[in-house]
C-alpha cells in the first residue's frame, strides 16, 4: 500500500481485521512504488488508482476522486495557457488534465515541472507555489 494511504487508513484496517480474525498474524509493508506481487511474494496488495493487470484478480473497495489544487498566486488557466504541474510518479502520462466542474468538463494543458514519489511531497511543493 502507498505510504499516505497506510498512514491515514491502514491502522484502522489492520485493527478491524485483527479483531475479526485473531488467529491470523499480519505483516504489512508500505511502498510508494509499484510492486510485483508474484515476484516479491505478497499475498495481498492494495493499490491506489492502479493500471489494469490482466494477470491478477482485483476488487475495488474504495473509490476516490482526484482534485487539482494550487496556491492563489497561480492564475486560473484560460484559453491555450499551459499550467506548470507537480505530478506524483514517474515521468509518463498525459500532457493535459480533463477537469470536471460545475460548468462541465474542460481540458487543461500541463507542463510537468516535477515528478515526485510521495503525495506529501506534491502537497508541500504546490503549497510553496510550484505548479498545480
At 117-130, the pLDDT tens digits run 888 888 899 989 88
Give the separation between CA 106 and CA 108, rounded to whole angstroms: 7
Count of structural domains, the chain: 2
Residue 19 pLDDT: 97
56: helix, strand or coil: coil
Residues 112 and 60 occupy one common structural domain: no
Residues 132 and 70 occupy one common structural domain: yes
Instruction: Give the DSSP H/E element, type plus range, for residue 4.
Output: helix 3-5
Residues 73 and 131 occupy one common structural domain: yes
Residues 91 and 130 occupy one common structural domain: yes
Nearest C-alpha neighbor of 117 from the set 5, 33, 8, 10: 33
Residues 56 and 73 occupy one common structural domain: no
Q: How many CB atoms lie within 10 A of CB 109?
A: 15
**Do 46 and 28 meet the contact criterion of CB atoms below 8 Å apart?**
no
**Main-chain phi, psi angles of 83, to 5 degrees:** -95, 130
CA 105 to chain centre: 21
Residues 42 and 71 occupy one common structural domain: no
Final residue of a structural domain among 24, 47, 64: 64
**Assigned C-alpha cell, 114:** 516535477
Final residue of a structural domain among 30, 64, 98: 64
Residues 20 and 59 occupy one common structural domain: yes
Give the separation between CA 69 and CA 51, rounded to whole angstroms: 23
Final residue of a structural domain among 49, 64, 79: 64
Beta strand 82-88 pairing with 104-116? parallel
Residues 74 and 44 occupy one common structural domain: no
Residues 60 and 1 occupy one common structural domain: yes
pLDDT of residue 87 exceeding 90: no
Residues 55 and 94 occupy one common structural domain: no
Whole-prediction pTM: 0.61
- Give residue for cell 490482466: 54
Residues 75 and 52 occupy one common structural domain: no
pLDDT band for position 1 (cuts 50, 70, 90): low
Give percent of the chain above pLDDT 70.
94
> Is the model more confident about 17 or about 60?
17
pLDDT tens sequence across 7-37: 888 899 999 999 999 999 999 888 877 788 8
Residues 77 and 57 occupy one common structural domain: no
Which residue range forms the structural domain that includes residue 128? 66-132
122: helix, strand or coil: helix
Residue 96 pLDDT: 84
Amino acid at each position: 500500500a502507498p505510504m499516505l494511504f497506510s498512514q491515514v487508513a491502514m491502522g484502522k484496517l489492520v485493527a478491524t481485521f485483527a479483531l475479526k480474525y485473531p488467529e491470523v498474524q499480519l505483516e504489512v509493508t508500505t511502498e510508494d512504488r509499484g510492486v510485483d506481487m508474484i515476484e516479491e511474494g505478497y499475498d495481498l496488495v492494495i493499490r491506489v488508482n492502479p493500471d489494469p493487470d490482466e494477470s491478477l484478480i482485483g476488487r475495488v473497495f474504495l473509490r476516490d476522486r482526484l482534485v487539482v489544487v494550487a496556491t492563489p498566486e497561480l492564475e486560473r488557466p484560460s484559453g491555450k495557457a499551459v499550467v506548470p504541474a507537480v505530478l506524483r510518479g514517474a515521468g509518463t502520462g498525459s500532457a493535459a488534465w480533463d477537469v470536471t466542474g460545475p460548468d462541465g468538463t474542460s481540458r487543461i494543458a500541463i507542463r510537468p515541472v516535477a515528478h515526485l514519489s510521495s503525495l506529501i511531497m506534491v502537497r508541500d511543493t504546490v503549497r510553496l507555489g510550484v505548479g498545480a
